[in-house]
Amino acid sequence: MKVNKPPKGGARAKLRAHFLANVGRVMNSTELRTVVDNQSEWARRVRELRTEEGYQILTHNDRSDLKPGQYLLETPKPQPAFERAISKESRAYVLDRNGFTCQMCGAVAGEPHPYDTTRKTRLHIGHITDKSMGGTDDPSNLRAICSVCNEGASNATLTRPDLQKLLIQIRRATSQDQLEVLRWLIKKFPKQAVEKIKP
């Protein structure tokens, strides 16, 4: 009588389960090969998890702090199929146009995320008008959006600063940083800025 049943599914299912059980932990090829009992096709199965299922399994090609042979699943949520359908050219164009900056929270690709500094900002391509509302995949309807905003977690993780504390912080900041705040405010509120500056 069998006591230990092997886990259901093939090599890809085993790898998927292993990645999902180890989100955020860097793993090497030796570990992953062991997961599938040394099957030689393990690397191809990992690629399928990326390309067919949309799991964001990062390698040294995606992140400079990863060494060749290291793998990292940053988030358990696969990239939606529509995003995978957007061409490489459109992605590159939109990221460049948006200055590699999240258009919702302003986080910059590769820098620590302002709401969660343990995470490096990773940008996705999002639709401005959702496809369910008739939006297209045309670059004019696309924008760069970080994984935190993409997961809709920004509202949950961002506690709005108290106005009093915020003003104190700004008053204490260097002139250079204050000017940076001013520039950002003018960009965000161009109409109001012009009205106030008018003599």
> For residue 123, what is the enclosing H or E element?
strand 123-127
Is 55 exposed, middle or buried (CB count within 10 Å of its CB: 0-12, 13-18, 19+)?
buried
**Distance between start and end Cα atoms, the chain:** 90
Interface residue with Zn ion, options 36, 123, 125, 149 (CB under 5 A): 149
- Axis-axis angle for helices 11-21, 42-51 (nearest 10): 70
Q: How many residues bind Zn ion (CB under 5 A)?
A: 6
Measure the CA–CA gap between 124 and 84, rounded to whole angstroms.
10
Decide whether 9 or 106 has the Cβ nearer to Zn ion.
106
Q: Would you say 27 or 105 has its CB closer to Zn ion?
A: 105
Q: Which residues pair with 151 in a beta bridge?
A: none
Q: Which stretch binds Zn ion (CB under 5 A): 2-10, 100-108, 161-169, 184-192?
A: 100-108
Smallest separation (angstroms) from Zn ion to the CB of 148:
5
Q: Does 102 bind Zn ion (CB under 5 A)?
A: yes
Does residue 146 touch Zn ion according to CB under 5 A?
Answer: yes
Among 27, 66, 86, 105, binds Zn ion (CB under 5 A): 105
Binding-site ranges for Zn ion (CB under 5 A): 102, 104-105, 107, 146, 149
